[in-house]
Structure 1
Amino acid sequence: MRRTRCTAAMVAAAVVSGTLALASPASADPTPAGTFRKLVGVGSDTTQDMLNALAGDTVNGNSYAGTAVKAASGAGVASYDAIEPGTGSTTSNIQTRTGGPSFLRPNGSGKGRLALSMSLTGDKFPDSSGVSIKGQVDFARSSSGPSTSGTAFTYIPFARDAVGVAVRGSALNTLTVDQLHDIYSGSLTVVNGQTVHPKIPQSGSGTRKFFLGAIGLTDATLSPNVPTVQENQADGALNEDGALVPFSVGSWIAQNNGISPDFSTTAAAAGAHLAAVQLPGDTGATTPVATVNGKLAPVGAYYENATFGRDVYNVVPTRAIDPTSVFFDKDLYDVFVTSGTHEAGLASEGAEGVIAKFGFVNESYNGSVNPAKHAKLGGLEESGIDTSTPAAPALKATRGDASVKLSWTAPAATGLPVTDYRVTLTGSDGAVVAVKDVSAGTRSYTFSGLALGTYTATVSAANLNGSGPAASWTGIIKYTTTTKATTATTAYGKTPKVAVTVADTHGVVPTGTVTVKEGTTTLGTGTLDSTGKATISLSSHLKVATHALTVSYGGNGKLLTSHTSAGLTITKATPTVTVTAPSTISHTSQAKVTIKVSATGTTPTGTVRIYEGSVVRATGTLSGGVLTLTLPKLSVGTHTMHAWYLGSSTVNSKNSANFTIKST
């Protein structure tokens, strides 16, 4: 790609080299009739002939098939004229896809951008009386910048043009900006003795919008007496002395050099020409064109002037040229975008040669998508449409092994539905680590294989108007761990233990603490040893029951927390029952029997009975695990008895060994 502007001499050299056909029949739209190509463009008639040539079609009898710009896949460009070729009709229809609808031909930059908008929204073009053209247009030719704010569209510059004033009559050879302002506002009707007859291009024309802005007017302040004519057609506009109309200088050159279809040479033969204009800040006037070897060529000073010089654009959906978007169109990107080492097809040497032939100037920023380098951003150009972007989704993040899973819920509905979600991960230094665009039906995405460290993840929802505010999460990415715990059935009064093992991961040995809880109650904590293990002793007086435990590892600087569940069964203690009783007693006396009930880790409580056979001889309650009972008088003879401890909530029941008392 050339990085310097073409000079007037270079253009003129191309004109007289014999490579251009002159005064040949005009052809436009993809040829032959019925040809369909992938990348469909409509809109501005200022750039239509140049785009037709760059698409490889025949323009004014000259075939440009040999220099057709195509994507790497071979996908071609289909550029449709603003008015019907041959007839000049502004009410004819076009069909841009096989089996697609037939719809009104978009006439001018504004209508082209409107068609592109409705191709995205699926609305009817040009209004409710038309047909839905969803998916029928891929780009719009535009000779002016955005009319609405937003980010839905990227205006990609691909050449430099200028707006001049085509006039008829020598009285208008030189004009100033102030004079043009007054002429078109209606306050100046005579210049140098000549009554002026101003004309203005049709509504929606990019040249119209640009020119009015350059002279300090708008459609609202334009005199209502100024008639409308088709843009860039001098033959119909300059039909009397004193007539004047804003005109693309590139189009004037191309028509009068025989490069583009002829809508101006009849007027030129009758004396129509481009007036010299006193540019703001200059003392003299500058003519937009020079004659080199008998042909017209651009004047660089006029083209580069900030007031009348202008970039011309190809307008594309911003999401379609974003390589990270689910809507990325590689073919569109190949043809229109210059970024990094990627060069737009329209910025190739061959394409720039075609651009120069049509009276436009090549610039180094051809294909730029950077707003700091001549690209522009704009919104959908459809009246009455909701211009809001989606609210932030509700975001949840779950960290995994060197990963984070982001889950979200859709934001509340707006006028335009959510089309996709943008998920972005940045490091602690703010550098973007990864970006992923996912479809509207997706509700989660996982970034995996991450280095340890702090990251911020954001998720934003987008619709055709652009991306809304992002939901954000910031956290530390670590490795996962696995915690295991084992227990053994333990009798009440004995110390239950939980053996915990936290597995190492990625060569990192777990360190830190583990905690045992039952519900929200902490039962014990422990510190992992050098092998990632810990044994935690719990209270020996846990309730007799099966306890549902949660065993948690608290993590460390490199490892995430983890937990597991474990069941711990506490059973009743098994007691020992001993009896001390006299071996012999008089039948006239009462024997005293001492019973002692003991168990590991607890002092049994409860009732003890003395049985002789099935007959209860005495009953009492333990105190401190001991009880002395006085038996009733025993009949003469040998009595065999035993003590029965009835047990408690924590200690099992148990019989003592038999003992005998001889009553004499």
Structure 2
Amino acid sequence: MRKTAAKLLTVAALATSLVTVVSGAAVADPAAGVTPAAQDIVGVGSDTTQAVLNQFSADYNASLGSGSTLPHLYSWDATGGSPITTKTGATSITRPNGSGAGIAALNANTSATVDFARSSRDPQSTDPNTFDFVAYATDAVSWAAQNGGHAPANLTTQNLKDIFNCNVTTWNQIDPSLSTNTIKPFLPQANSGTRAFFLKTLGVTTINSCVTQGVQENQGSDAALNDPDALVPYSVAHYIGQVYYSRGSGNDVQGPLTIRSIDGVAPVDTTNKVITDAFAGTNYARSVYNVLRHAEFVATDTHGTALQAIFGTNGWICTNSTATADLQSFGFLPLPAGACGSTIHS
């Protein structure tokens, strides 16, 4: 699924559709003074996909028309004030930060509080077996480091595995021409889907003492990362949105970081401002999902109908041209018809 999207969606189509997209960051959380209604569809979770879901919310709700009584779509960011009351009548919950926390919140609450979880990772064996992971776009994960720092332009998969296993601790162990300084690998906080995907792809199972944990994913503004020896996994789509489409603001910016190649494959086509076809064909490409309770997603009641209207194969995200343009302007590759809205049952 991940690789097919990159092959079927041409660069020319991307460039054409992006002409109509207005740059700028989407509003975070429901707009000030707006409390979602009890019937509305509300999500939490992944940092990587929070911004595009905010844009989806604005555009989907506008598509319903002024005064519509149909369920609207809302999404709460991974970070911000906590606790949050997600909708009218909901139980207040600690704001879920990351894919894992969003999935846990979906499991711990009913649709009176949370309807879906944003996830940038695949299902795991520890996830409840009552959930559907509904795919809608392709992303990829590479690594980023300070512009002008000691990190090279490219690292191999084995280099990265050695670094995050703490088996290689200085740059000159990779290449004698590089600095003798100690490498400073960073990982996002424990619930991050980007972290989980990156470590799984590398085959790293134990986090050793040389790795600093806990940074917020995809935030190059973190002062700890403004270090010539730091490196951190980074969503390629999120980076493209930040750098080329002004889709970041506040802390959600690339800061001094630039994204780098893996195994000699560049992640970003800087001319067309998309994930490269070559990188989308590697193991570092991933689908991103909205996670739903299976029984609710297949139900024929009002709630199930609303979920299908947004997330389903024939739903707004998968068929509406505005949704496609939204995805592209946030750096994601839309999935082709039939793949978008497909489910993996956890």
TM (norm. structure 1) is 0.46
Q: Does 1:225 align with 2:203?
A: no
**2:335 counterpart of 1:363:** yes
Offset at residue 263 of structure 1 (A): 3.8
Which residue pairs with 2:317 in the alignment?
346
Aligned position for 2:196: 209
Q: Distance in 2 between matches of 1:210 and 1:262?
A: 26
Deviations 1:133-185 (A, max 9, x none): x7200000000012226530000001000011111225321001111111111
Partner of 2:90: 100
Root mean square deviation of aligned Cα = 2.7
Mapped to 1, the partners of 2:10 and 2:102 lie a distance apart of: 30
Structure 1 residues 264 and 79: CA distance shift in structure 2, 3 A: closer
Code of the aligned partner of 1:251: H
> What is the one-letter code of the residue matched to 2:105?
A
> What's the counterpart of residue 252 of structure 1?
239
The residue aligned with 2:139 is 161
Bigger CA radius of gyration: 1
**Distance in structure 2 (CA, Å) of the matches to 1:233 and 1:214:** 21
Letter in 2 for 1:137: V
The Cα shift of 1:35 comes to 2.9
In structure 1, C-alpha distance between the alignment counterparts of 2:252 and 2:341, rounded to whole Å: 32
Q: Which residue of 2 aligns with 1:310?
A: 286
Structure 1 position 116 matched with structure 2 position 95: no
1:200 alignment partner in structure 2: 187
CA offsets, 1:76-98, max 9 Å, x none? 111000001xxxx6xx2211122
SS at match of 2:143: strand
The alpha-carbon deviation at position 350 of structure 1 amounts to 2.0
Across the two proteins, how many residue pairs are aligned to each other? 323
Q: Which residue is equivalent to 2:70?
A: 74
Q: In the alignment, what sits opposite 1:144?
A: 121
Q: Secondary structure at the match of 1:286?
A: coil
Distance 1:69 1:79 in 2: 19
- Which structure: greater helix fraction? 2
Letter of the structure 1 residue corresponding to residue 45 of structure 2 = G
CA contact (8 A) 2:50 2:118 kept: yes
Choose the corresponding residue for 1:261, options 249, 257, 260. 249
CA contact (8 A) 1:43 1:111 kept: yes
* Post-superposition offset of 1:298: 1.7
Counterparts of 1:197-596 in structure 2, within 5 Å, are: 197-218=184-205, 221-227=206-212, 228-236=214-222, 237-257=224-244, 258-261=246-249, 263=251, 265=253, 267-268=255-256, 272-278=257-263, 285-292=264-271, 296-305=273-282, 307-323=283-299, 329-338=304-313, 343-348=314-319, 349-364=321-336, 365-369=338-342, 375-378=343-346
Unaligned runs of 5+ in 1: 58-63, 121-133, 279-284, 370-374, 379-664
Asked if the contact 1:163/1:207 (under 8 Å) is kept, the reply is yes
Distance between the aligned counterparts of 2:35 and 2:93, measured in 1? Answer: 16
Q: Secondary structure at the match of 2:164?
A: helix
Equivalent position amino acid for 1:151 in 2? N
Distance 1:73 1:99 in 2: 18
The structure whose RCO (Cα within 8 Å, separation 6+) is larger is 2
Sort the Cα spacing of 1:242 and 1:14 in 2 relative to 1 into closer, same or farther, 3 A: farther
Q: CA deviation at 1:361?
A: 0.2
% of aligned pairs identical? Answer: 34
Q: CA separation in 1, counterparts of 2:134 and 2:307?
A: 12
Aligned to 2:46: 44
Structure 2 gap ranges (5+): none
Q: Is the 8 A contact 2:219 2:255 kept in 1?
A: no
- Measured against aligned partners, the alpha-carbon deviations of 1:612-640 in whole angstroms (never above 9, x if no partner) come to xxxxxxxxxxxxxxxxxxxxxxxxxxxxx
CA contact (8 A) 2:242 2:254 kept: no
**Residue type of the alignment partner of 1:322:** V
Classify 1:69/1:11 alpha carbon distance in 2 versus 1 (closer, same or farther; 3 Å). Answer: farther
Q: Which whole-Å CA distance do the structure 1 matches of 2:78 and 2:140 have between them?
A: 19
Deviation at 1:29, TM superposition (A): 0.7
Instruction: Write out per-residue CA displacement over residues 274-317 of structure 1, whole angstroms, 9 at most, x where no aligned residue.
Output: 11111xxxxxx111102127xx3221221232x10000000000
What secondary structure sits across from 1:311 in the alignment?
strand
Q: Is the 8 Å Cα contact of residues 53 and 68 (structure 1) preserved in structure 2?
A: no
Asked if structure 2 preserves the Cα contact closer than 8 Å seen for 1:47 and 1:141, the reply is yes
SS in 2 for 1:114: helix
Q: 1:320 to 1:5 in 2, by over 3 A?
A: same
What is the rounded CA distance, in whole Å, between the counterparts of 1:363 and 1:263 in structure 2?
29
Name the CA distance, whole Å, in 1 between partners of 2:151 and 2:47. Answer: 29
In 2, Cα distance between equivalents of 1:69 and 1:253 = 31
**Secondary structure, aligned partner of 2:93:** strand
Aligned to 1:183: 163
Indicate if the aligned counterparts of 2:219 and 2:254 stay in contact, CA closer than 8 A: no
Deviation for aligned residue 1:366: 4.4
Q: Does the CA contact (< 8 Å) of 1:256 and 1:264 recur in 2?
A: no
Tell me, in whole angstroms, the C-alpha distance in 2 between the residues paired with 1:137 and 1:336: 15
